[in-house]
Amino acid sequence: MSTTPFSRPGAVDLSALKRPAGGAPGAGPRPGSAASPAPGSAGPAGSYAVEVAEENFQQVLEASMNALVLMVFYSRTQMPASAQLADDLTTLADEFEGKYLLGRVDVDAVPQIAQAVQIPTVPYVVAVVQGRPMPLFQEVAPIDDLRAALTQVMQQLATQGVAGRHQPLTQAMAEEEGEELLDPRYAPAQDALAAGDLDGAVAEYQKLVDANPADVEAAGGLAMAKVLQRTQGADLAQARQAAADQPEDVDAQTLVADLDLAGGHVDDAFARLVDLVRRTSGDDRDRARTHLLGLFAAVGNDDPRVLKGRRDLASALF
């Protein structure tokens, strides 16, 4: 197990991010807090969360070579509210659909990990990018504030080429040491994303789609890589202002939709383009519709939000 403290700086500057507001240290847990899983098992109802033990600690860190890993250190005895924070981050990991893998470290169950990495307190949340740990925050906060803070993290990392995604974890994958978290077929595309080479990522995903048009994962990866390509260097505030000033401008509206999607606001992105389809006609309407279909592919056609978006699109068209 690594004994590197989690206080050293990393390669990605997250210092400009505001800490989530509204959380008070020592606050009690909210009703409905789930029981703690055993070390090494998946977190509560989380497809992108794993309870960390000595046996899988290194594996979780290695997953950060392909996409962001967050580690939350919590204790139900030292600070009960920290366990709710861990559960909220598990919920958000599902919402962000693999943009980060959450490693849950129960310091009551595995104090040796907390001691080895020298965490100063609980709760303690650390981002790990390409093996490099960077502290994020050490306060309990409402889930809405956590969502906003993590959206900022994703947007900043995306501008620096850190935009990979984890595959959903199964119980067996979470427990089996050494199991690959990512399908190796997608490694070249993920490596290109990690290197900030969005053109290369698009090209690699395109190869997979050309070789097998039925590969929905590759098609989704291609669509998402194109979203990141289109939003690279874009200023969110300026884009929103332009869209507000020009509500019928397809380019302005689709850019904000792309930025919303990249930031995890999937429903907002879909709603914006459905409304645009409803308001426009002719070529503009077709462009908006086609763009929305691309966003559906980026999220995944079996996602409930996509199913709802398709129903809303059909209603707007007819």
pLDDT in tens, the chain (318 residues): 433 344 333 333 343 443 443 333 333 333 233 333 333 333 344 589 999 988 888 888 888 888 899 999 999 888 889 999 999 999 999 999 889 999 999 998 888 888 877 888 899 999 998 888 889 888 899 999 999 889 888 888 877 777 788 888 754 344 444 444 456 888 888 888 777 788 998 999 999 999 998 888 888 889 988 998 898 888 889 999 999 999 999 999 999 999 988 877 889 999 999 999 999 999 999 999 999 999 999 888 778 888 999 999 999 888
Tokens of 277: 């389809």
The alpha-carbon radius of gyration of the chain (Å, integer) is 20
Q: Give the model's pLDDT for residue 257.
A: 94
**Domains of the chain, CATH where assigned:** 49-175 (3.40.30.10), 184-232 (no CATH), 234-318 (1.25.40.10)
pTM, two decimal places: 0.48
End-to-end CA distance of the chain: 59
DSSP-assigned letters across all residues of 200-264:
HHHHHHHHHHHH-TT-HHHHHHHHHHHHHHHHTT--HHHHHHHHHH-TT-HHHHHHHHHHHHHTT
Q: The tokens 């994703």 sit on which residue?
A: 154
Angle at 235 between CA 232 and CA 237, to 5 degrees: 150
Q: Give the model's pLDDT for residue 234.
A: 87
